[in-house]
Structure 1
């Protein structure tokens, strides 16, 4: 609202000074402000409304917290600590959140998850996977630059050669 008021006042002042410079008579600030409020008030509301909507869409939705993730299961929400998660894997348009006993689908991207995770515990191993290093059992070369990572729950994930250098520095 303050932005809209400032916008209208600046508009009235600008019209006043421009009319002083270029016209034979000057429009008064009071009359220009009155005109702006009565006929032009919708423009600032639309402009600032669109800007506020864009900003609101860019903010995190609150689904993620620093230590856990809320996953919707039917009409319920389940809170899962990041320390329980073995890995995240892309399953377009969702990501799979794998724990010891269960797998969940979550409406987020791996990029969004990666920003929320502790880089000391989680590492990206593929464009479609992030693992928790605490649950990694072993890794074996495929002799082509890629590796197979065996998790403690028995799952095997591919480590892409594009992420191998960062992975080796972390383990």
Structure 2
């Protein structure tokens, strides 16, 4: 029986990325050579594939510059900073391209192409393309990260990045194993955490912050500085008209969603609803 790979599985594979970028560059280089040949054929002039490949080096510059641009944009959250990096990448590309053509032609060709001659050609032939490619690279990368990155992280680690069980110790040092999917919510009760399970309430010796980092963020979400709730246990949401919300859990418990956490909560709740309704 043959297993078919879905588009999601393909694009979420880290290995696939090693082929997508080189394949894209190869496609544009080949397309440029074909375009040059077609133009010379229609104009009844001579076609030199070596020169066509030389001027196609424009596409090769995208590899290092796009990698650097996406790396910097990932580290910087400000839209202004990202725009500045994008404009800088465009400028560097347009300046470096004629220098690359000059260096390659001087080293390997009989004729050396002058810098300013190639710079003028680059502006007329590639200026709009350069702006479009760099301009759309960051939004496309953000979209890819949002849609496929979680699957790649799991593929890279080879294991789950969240816990499915927690171990509770009572006064007699007896261990109780609780499945996180059966927990309604957690609340801070320094120096402990109250664990509200379907069966009863437990005390857990952990901080809410460290526990939050261990939980599945698709299932659990922080709604208040003192509460983390299981999204699958929410049965209703009620706005307080002041930026806060009330959520009702399956056992009838009503918890407040602080306005500081409301935006993230609504995003996670909408995602949970979308996944479970499929």
Q: What TM-score do you get using the length of structure 2 for normalisation?
A: 0.38
Residue 67, structure 1, aligned to residue 161, structure 2: no
Measure the CA separation in 2 of the matches of 1:162 and 1:105: 26
The residue that corresponds to 1:138 in the other structure is 236
Distance 1:137 1:105 in 2: 25
List per-residue Cα deviations over 1:108-135 (Å, max 9, x = no partner).
1111110110011000000100001010
How much is the aligned-residue C-alpha RMSD, in angstroms?
1.1
Q: Equivalences for 1:59-98 in 2 at 5 Å? A: 66-75=163-172, 76-98=174-196
The separation in 1 between residues aligned to 2:163 and 2:240, in whole angstroms, is 35
* 110, 116, 125: which one aligns with 2:208: 110
Q: Residues 16-165 of structure 1 correspond to what in structure 2 (within 5 A)? A: 66-75=163-172, 76-165=174-263
Q: CA deviation at 1:86?
A: 0.8
> What is the distance in 2 between the residues matched to 1:99 and 1:92?
19
Question: How far did 1:101 drift?
Answer: 2.5
1:66 positional shift: 2.1
- After TM superposition, where is structure 1 displaced by more than 3 Å over at least 4 residues in a row? none
Structure with the bigger RCO (C-alpha within 8 Å, sep 6+) is 1
Residues 39-96 of structure 1, C-alpha deviations (whole Å, 9 max, x = no match) = xxxxxxxxxxxxxxxxxxxxxxxxxx82111111122110101111110101111110
5+ long unaligned stretches in structure 1: 1-64
SS at match of 2:228: strand
Structure 1 residue 99: Cα displacement: 1.0
Could you tell me how far apart the structure 1 residues matched to 2:217 and 2:268 are?
9
Gaps of 5+ in 2: 1-161, 270-278
Q: What secondary structure is seen at the aligned counterpart in 2 of 1:140? A: strand
